[in-house]
Amino acid sequence: YCSYFHAGLSLKTGVSEGELRDLLAGEIPEDAPDEELTALVYAQHWAESNAEPDTEIYDRLVEEYGQ
C-alpha cells in the first residue's frame, strides 16, 4: 500500500518513471539533485529502520533542512 501511494504521488509531482523505478528498487537515482540527497538517504533509512531512524541520521536531516 505505501509503495502504491508514494509511487502515484511521485509521478504527480514530476518524478520520472526511471527515477521512480530506481527508488522502488531501493536505489537513489544517480542524477538526483545534490540538494535532495540527504532527504533521499534519510527516507531510505527511515523505511529500512521500520520508522525508527537513528538519532544521528535524523539530526543530520535537521541540520541540512531545518526543523
Helix axis angle for 34-48 and 55-65, nearest 10°, is: 150
Range in 2-6, 9-13, 39-43, 46-50 the model is least confident about: 2-6
> For the whole model, what pTM was predicted?
0.77
Is pLDDT of 58 > 80? yes
Q: How far is the C-alpha of 20 from the C-alpha of 62, rounded, in Å?
A: 25
